[in-house]
Structure 1
Amino acid sequence: MKKQTLWMTIPVTTAVLLALAGCGGQDSNQALQGSSSSTTAGEQNPSESGTTVSPNSGNQGGSANTDSGHASSSTAGKEGTDASNTNGSSSHSKLSDTNEVVKAVRGELKMQGALLPTSFPLSKDQYLGAVITTNTSDALHVNFYTAGKAVALNDSLLTSSNSKMPWLASYEVKTYKNPNQTDVFPDTDLKNIPKDMMVELGHGIQGMMEGAAGSQYLTWKEGRWTMQIRSVSEDQMNNTGIAKKIVEYLEKHMLPAPKYKGFVNVEYASGGKTVHVTISWQDGKQIHQLKTEQVPLDALGMVVSVK
């Protein structure tokens, strides 16, 4: 199956987890699940990872990825115009609650009825920061950050060139004249999977495993959503185990219903210690897209919370 080029893949420079799925005793839990502020990735309780906590609980989000090495990702995924040029230093007050941050962002957006993630993978001692980098009636782009203290919307602490606030995720909505002409969504046919490539993922869902150009891919469909995991072949990662965890998670959590197409793209860098997740879905002429270097269940949790 020919792999199509997707939207720009953000360089993965961080070390979110200490060990991820693969051979040598590594399992899919480590590659899939976030770590709490008091444990390493390998010590995370599987029943607690990948979930998000209601933003009503003050500055808390969901499960945390507090690995100190992740701070280097503060510049990753910052697409659009630098907010320091478009918005300047914000005069907004400092926001200590996730709900307040989301409300402040929503209040600034020019797009009518704009949807946003409302829950984020933060630990109890972390705060959510946000910078609006694109803001028109037909497009928006917001970068979210993990902050060690309450910050204002578009705070210069987030936008300065020497900022040490780790980038958490970006959320973007674009309006197209013809969204079907974009290369965001792969043309995937999984109706007749060869037996030697078929993988059972649970709940009656079957995936297709294949290798190409030094990578291994596992692809499956859930409704209008296509899911794909890519890893480097020599890493021998347990893509099947990761996929089964995603399938199980989505049995209990509902992604936005795309009117046409949706795509969850999980890409592990060489070595399997860092991951980039892009989740895209089409709603009429709009394409929504969330990008993050958080583990897959945390990425899904943010999208599940979009409203």
Structure 2
Amino acid sequence: MKISLVLGWFLVLSLAAGCSQSNAADEKTKSSSAAETAERTKPPASSEKGIAEGEPAPGTNPSSKKNEALTPEEVISETSLQLDTRVPFSLPATIPLDKDKHLTSLATSDAKTYEIAFYQTSKPISINSSKLRNLGNESKIAVIKAAEYESEEKAAEQIGYQKAEPAGNPPVDLGHGITGYTDAGAGSAFLHWNEGRWSFMSKARNETGQDANQELGRKVVDYLEKEMLPPPDQGTVLLDGNDAGSRNHYTAWQEGNIVYEIVEADGAMTMLEVAAAFNKD
């Protein structure tokens, strides 16, 4: 295994961006009041591309449920209306929520990309509300990204799929017929395995690395025995073996010249739950 390539992928985790903003406007949701319409459609005060000041943001459809909480499925559907992009639209069927929490989102897009941060809040907050920019990571569930590349080959380069192979150490039984292979270098321990067209790698510090990697690896394999990730041309999952609950996990998969990513998720299992929801109706 080429350790330098692995470390390069894990650097992506530390550079993953946070939440973004929306720039789409939905004409169907304009108020009949000329004053309200002008307020809702004026340009953003900042130089950032996205939402204008005020509540709700342009494009948000309060519809007949103006004073009611939207269901997670309704939030996902309403979020799709915020996107103005030629990238094939794909989102999970649902998003995992803690009990008594409400789902909302902050979305931005351009011709070749879109990015959506999903949040859970104690009280309902409108999609693309400026209030979301003040929320901390404790409210963030995950960020979903998509990007179009000029070719399938360019998209594949972003994935970094690797075939798991022995590196001179005994193989590891991860359960359900899945075999993992260990390696180490630069003060870190690695566990690598494949499932279908997906490549999985867990990285941890050398002192506790292999035990931590194998514990998380078996948990992931066990979960994926019951749930399925979206079928990709190829995909990769990078795991922080030091802390399964951290936000340093990463999922990406390729469909033609499009790459989808899940970053900044609230733990490894939340990330996988979001990814598996892409494979549901």
**1:303 aligned residue (265, 271, 275):** 275
Q: Per-residue deviation at 1:99?
A: 1.2
Whole-Å Cα distance in 2 between the matches of residues 77 and 126 of structure 1? 24
For 1:154, the equivalent position in structure 2 comes to 128
**2:149 aligned residue (176, 195, 210):** 176
Whole-Å Cα distance in 1 between the matches of residues 129 and 19 of structure 2? 17
Q: Is 163-172 or 101-110 further displaced after alignment? A: 163-172
Q: Which runs of 4+ in 1 moved over 4 A?
A: 79-84
Whole-Å Cα distance in 1 between the matches of residues 97 and 183 of structure 2? 35
Deviations 1:131-159 (A, max 9, x none): 112x1343111111121211111011102
Q: Across the two proteins, how many residue pairs are aligned to each other?
A: 237
Q: Per-residue deviation at 1:274?
A: 2.8
CA contact (8 A) 2:119 2:142 kept: yes
Secondary structure of 2:249's counterpart equals strand
**Cα gap change, 1:230/1:147 in structure 2, threshold over 3 Å: closer, same or farther?**
same
**2:112 aligned residue (135, 138, 145):** 138
CA contact (8 A) 1:129 1:144 kept: yes
**1:119 aligned residue (94, 109, 134):** 94
Tell me the amino acid that sits aligned with residue 198 of structure 2.
Answer: W
Secondary structure of 1:8's counterpart equals helix
- Give the superposed CA RMSD: 2.6
Deviations 1:66-93 (A, max 9, x none): xxxxxxxxxx841656877411241533
| 1:100-249 map, 5 Å | 100-111=74-85, 113-133=88-108, 135-159=109-133, 162-164=134-136, 166-181=139-154, 183-191=157-165, 193-194=166-167, 196-236=169-209, 237-249=211-223
Whole-Å Cα distance in 2 between the matches of residues 224 and 277 of structure 1? 19
Q: Is 110-119 or 245-254 further displaced after alignment? A: 110-119
The runs of 5 or more residues in structure 2 that have no matched partner are 24-43
Please give the TM-score of this superposition, normalised by the length of structure 2: 0.75
Please give the TM-score of this superposition, normalised by the length of structure 1: 0.69
Structure exhibiting the larger radius of gyration computed from Cα positions: 2
CA contact (8 A) 2:93 2:277 kept: yes
CA contact (8 A) 2:237 2:252 kept: yes
The runs of 5 or more residues in structure 1 that have no matched partner are 12-75
Deviations 1:193-246 (A, max 9, x none): 256241111222111111111111100000100001111122444211211121
**2:51 aligned residue (66, 87, 110):** 87
Higher relative contact order (CA 8 A, sep 6+): 1
